[in-house]
Amino acid sequence: VWSNCLKIIKDIVEWQHFKTWFEPINPVELKENVLMIQVPSQFFYEYLEEHYVNLLAKTLKRELGKEARLEYRIMVDSGNTNGRNGSMDVPASGMKTYNNNEMNFPLVIDNPVKNPFVIPGLKKMQIDPQLNQMYTFDSFIEGDCNRVARRAGKTVAEKPGANSFNPLVIYGGVGLGKTHLAQAIGNDVKRMHPGKVVLYVSSEKFINQFQDHSRNNAINDFIHFYQLIDVLIIDDVQFFSRAEKSQDAFFAIFNHLHQSGKQLVLTSDKAPKDLDGMQERLLSRFRWGLSADLQVPDYETRIEILERKMKNDGLDMPKEVVKYVAYNINTNVRELEGALISLLAQSSLNKKDIDVELAKKVLRNFVKTSSKEITIDAIQKMVCEYFDVPYDKLLQKTRKREIVQARQITMYLAKAFTKNSLKTIGEHFGGRDHTTVIHSCQTVKDLMDTDSIFRENVMELTQKVQLAAM
């Protein structure tokens, strides 16, 4: 029956389309007037329904009579995105994405899609937005580091396409929350506008799909698919730099969506102006909207992120440990979370409570261990330069507040970053004794808790010393 149908179809549709959309179909079962066919993907099924439903209906009715019905079975790829013949890895709709790494053969979903012969035009494409529900605005802590980007994201989610942030480009270094924020926008659109077609896709995936379609001479299908989307989120667009042809497709999609009032959200690890290898015509379009950056969160925000994370996961640890971790991990949020997880793992492994001692041990693996031993003299120089304090004043018995604080901070840093004894450190400050050093370190810690400018100074200096010790 199926091969008869194919003969008819072959004469009607273009050869290339026939190859792409009909050859990959496997007839599986014929029960009375119901033919079950197996298709390579959910997308494939959707596409057939969108474009060929009438043709399929007609030909099948010719073969099986008026009551003919068609059922689909969807084969799901085992995570191998570099497509087999004709298989499209455009996100599947309405169903889970099956990802079975152990199996290298296609998986058959047991309950077939029972949706024969829908009247075209009535059915809107159902596209799984590929969103992770965990990434929400609520769980994305706001700080100075991300305020603009987060607020712009909220606006975009409220009025997708109908705001002046189109495209919204979110950029920033690794682990600073680009993916989280981009996904939060998608999730919020879905929550507030359930009818909108949202799709999150990484640029790598976009490029892979494009190349698959390009090999199958189906670039137009690829572009048409993307043009159906209301809110398109593309993560890590910097990877487009080395994919010239994909940029062309993206350009076409971008223009179509933008003109139709659809929303684009892009993320990048660099500011758009620094995206080497990106076509100027794309970059100029990025400027139509808003580019907002994500910075490393400051100390307070880091504490808040840790506390929120602990609360969400039902965890608890002493405030001083939270502070210790937040203070010492100042690279990015991913490392902050990594440190927290290691800490919990170590604590449960060794059946030990989490305290600062344990944190110190665990964080040794995170904070880059100095390969160079930095000297007390070097730290003194750095602090003097930073506060613009003359070196000899640091050693004398001046009681001027700025000098006293600079001296205390220097001692504190010397204690933290050198292996010198308290006694030796004291000697480097005009022969003070070790109790003075202890007192200084304590004062610095206390002031950091209460004085935010002071704390920022110390943290900035800490970074300088860390860099110098690398």
Terminal Cα distance for the chain, rounded: 72
Number of residues that bind ligand ADP (CB under 6 A): 16
- Identify the helix (H) or strand (E) that includes residue 269: none
Which positions from 296 through 315 interact with ligand ADP, judged by CB under 6 A?
305
Instruction: Give the shortest CB-182-to-ligand ADP separation in angstroms.
Output: 8
Partner in contact with 71, chosen from ligand ADP, Mg ion, none, beta carbon below 5 to 8 Å by kind: none
> How far is it, in rounded angstroms, from Cα 375 to Cα 163?
55
* Tokens matching residue 379: 């730290």
Q: Which of 91, 153, 167, 175 binds ligand ADP (CB under 6 A)?
A: 175
- Identify the helix (H) or strand (E) that includes residue 224: helix 219-226
Partner in contact with 129, chosen from ligand ADP, Mg ion, none, beta carbon below 5 to 8 Å by kind: none
Question: β-strand 26-31 against 34-39: which pairing, if any?
Answer: antiparallel
Backbone φ and ψ for 392, nearest 5 degrees, come out as -65, -30
* Tokens matching residue 154: 């909220």
Q: Strand pairing partners for 133?
A: none
Partner in contact with 174, chosen from Mg ion, ligand ADP, none, beta carbon below 5 to 8 Å by kind: ligand ADP
* 152 touching ligand ADP, by CB under 6 A: no
187, 192, 198, 202 alpha-carbon torsion, rounded to 10°: -20
Instruction: Give the shortest CB-286-to-ligand ADP separation in angstroms.
Output: 18
Which positions from 317 through 356 interact with ligand ADP, judged by CB under 6 A?
333-334, 337
* 180 touching ligand ADP, by CB under 6 A: yes
Instruction: Give the shortest CB-258-to-ligand ADP separation in angstroms.
Output: 24
Partner in contact with 141, chosen from ligand ADP, Mg ion, none, beta carbon below 5 to 8 Å by kind: ligand ADP
User: Is the Cβ of residue 43 or residue 135 nearer to Mg ion in the bound state?
Assistant: 135
Question: β-strand 168-172 against 34-39: which pairing, if any?
Answer: unpaired
Instruction: Give the shortest CB-345-to-ligand ADP separation in angstroms.
Output: 17
Q: Which residues contact Mg ion by CB under 5 A?
A: 178-179
Contact 145, 294 (CB under 8 A): yes
User: Is the Cβ of residue 63 or residue 142 nearer to ligand ADP in the bound state?
Assistant: 142
CB burial readout 115-151, b (16+ within 10 A) else e: ebeeeeeeeeeebbbbbeeebebeebbebebbeebbe
User: Is the Cβ of residue 73 or residue 180 nearer to ligand ADP in the bound state?
Assistant: 180
Interface map 258-287 toward ligand ADP (x if CB under 6 A):
------------------------------
> How far is it, in rounded angstroms, from Cα 119 to Cα 123?
7
**Residues in the site for ligand ADP, rule: CB under 6 A?**
139-141, 146, 172, 174-180, 305, 333-334, 337
